[in-house]
């Protein structure tokens, strides 16, 4: 089967080369020195960006976000108790790191709406994502029938309500049918329904 250009890019990103002096390793070294949220000229993974709705036109921007890896950091309790009862280690957030990256980027760019995001790299300390942002009030976006839904009021701050792909995954909306009876409309709404 003959692969398209996007197909070849997709194959390369399935197992990126992270050996010493590889382009990806040099990128990670450079990214660690830069800002946490940096607007980039064009997406690094053009195939993934296009599949998630990115277009190279006015009103769209791409931001590379850096978020620390690992579970929650908690201070050590000074009062006496068993180490197992301290509750410091192995406490993980209910949100994924990708979702945190999207939400923090949305706060940094308040006039934009987060469309979607994808992974671009990780080192021992951080994970890096590219976030696709759309300006809902840009004339080009309002005129485009494929994306002008983002101009509606019910799409406002959609990332903070778990409407992106990473948000839907965290809310358990990737599953249907048996075993997923309590995830719709939301876990919290289903919990209050029984009262």
Which distant-in-sequence residues (6+ apart) come within 8 Å of 186 by Cβ?
171
Give bridge partners of residue 133 from the DSSP assignment.
61, 114
Write out the residue range of the structural domain in which residue 91 sits.
5-193
pLDDT at 194: 67
- Predicted local confidence at residue 122, as pLDDT: 94
Q: In CATH, what number is assigned to the domain containing residue 28?
A: 3.40.1120.10
- Composition of the chain by helix, strand, coil, percent to 5: 35, 15, 45
Specify the number of domains making up the chain.
Answer: 1
List the beta bridge partners of residue 66: 128
DSSP code string of 93-143: -SS-HHHHHHHHHHHHSTTSEEEEEEEEEE-SSEEEEEEEEE-TT-HHHHH
Contact between residue 4 and residue 41 where contact means Cβ atoms under 8 Å apart:
no
pTM: 0.89
- Per-residue pLDDT 10s for the chain (195 aa) are 788 999 999 999 999 888 889 999 999 999 999 999 999 999 999 999 999 999 999 999 999 999 999 888 888 888 888 877 788 878 888 899 999 999 999 999 999 999 999 999 999 999 999 999 999 999 999 999 999 999 999 999 999 999 999 999 999 999 999 988 888 888 888 888 766
| pLDDT at residue 195, as a whole number | 63
d(CA 80, CA 143) in angstroms, rounded, equals 64
Cis peptide before 185 (omega within 30 of 0): yes
């Amino acid at each position: 089967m003959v692969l398209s250009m996007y197909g070849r890019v997709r194959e390369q990103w399935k197992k990126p080369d992270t050996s010493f002096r590889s382009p990806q390793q040099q990128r990670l070294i450079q990214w660690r020195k830069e800002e946490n949220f940096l607007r980039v000229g064009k997406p690094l993974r053009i195939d993934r960006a296009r599949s998630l709705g990115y277009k190279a036109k006015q009103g769209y921007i791409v931001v590379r976000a850096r978020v620390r890896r690992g579970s929650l950091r908690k201070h050590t309790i000074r009062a006496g108790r068993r180490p197992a009862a301290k509750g410091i280690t192995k406490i993980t957030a209910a949100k994924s790191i990708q979702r945190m990256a999207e939400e923090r980027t949305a706060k940094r760019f308040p006039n934009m709406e987060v469309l979607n995001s994808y992974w671009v790299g990780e080192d021992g300390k951080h994970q890096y994502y590219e976030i696709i942002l759309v300006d809902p009030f840009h004339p080009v976006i309002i005129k485009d029938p494929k994306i002008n839904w983002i101009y509606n009021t019910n799409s406002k701050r959609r990332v903070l309500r778990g409407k992106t792909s990473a948000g839907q995954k965290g809310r358990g909306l990737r599953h249907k049918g048996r075993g997923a009876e309590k995830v719709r409309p939301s876990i919290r709404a289903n919990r209050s329904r029984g009262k």
